[in-house]
Amino acid sequence: MGSPVNGRLTLMFRLAGDISRVRIPESRSPRRVNELWRHTCFEVFVMTGDGPAYREFNFSPSGEWAAYAFRGYRDAAERELDPVPEIRVRRMTDHVELDAGISGDDLGIGRATRMGLSAVVEDTSGELSYWALRHPPGKPDFHHADAFALQLVPGRMNFPIGPAAGGPR
Q: What is the pLDDT of residues 8-17, one digit of tens each?
A: 788 999 999 9
Q: Note whether residue 103 is domain-resident.
A: yes
3-class DSSP string for 21-70: HECCCCCCCCCECCCHHHCCEEEEEEEECCCCCEEEEEECCCCCEEEEEE
Q: Enumerate residues 6+ apart whose C-beta is below 8 A from 160.
A: none
Position 30, amino acid: P
Parent domain of 136: 2-151
Q: Note whether residue 130 is domain-resident.
A: yes
Q: Note whether residue 158 is domain-resident.
A: no
pLDDT value of position 159: 47
pLDDT value of position 6: 53
- How many folded domains does the chain comprise? 1
> pTM of the full predicted structure?
0.84
Q: 28-75, pLDDT tens digit by residue?
A: 999 999 999 999 999 999 998 788 999 999 999 999 999 999 999 999
CATH number at residue 106: 2.60.40
Position 71, amino acid: R
Q: 90-144, pLDDT tens digit by residue?
A: 999 999 999 999 887 767 665 678 899 999 999 999 999 999 999 999 999 999 9
| For residue 163, pLDDT beyond 90 | no
pLDDT value of position 154: 45
d(CA 62, CA 6): 27
pLDDT value of position 109: 61
Q: Note whether residue 9 is domain-resident.
A: yes
Q: Note whether residue 54 is domain-resident.
A: yes
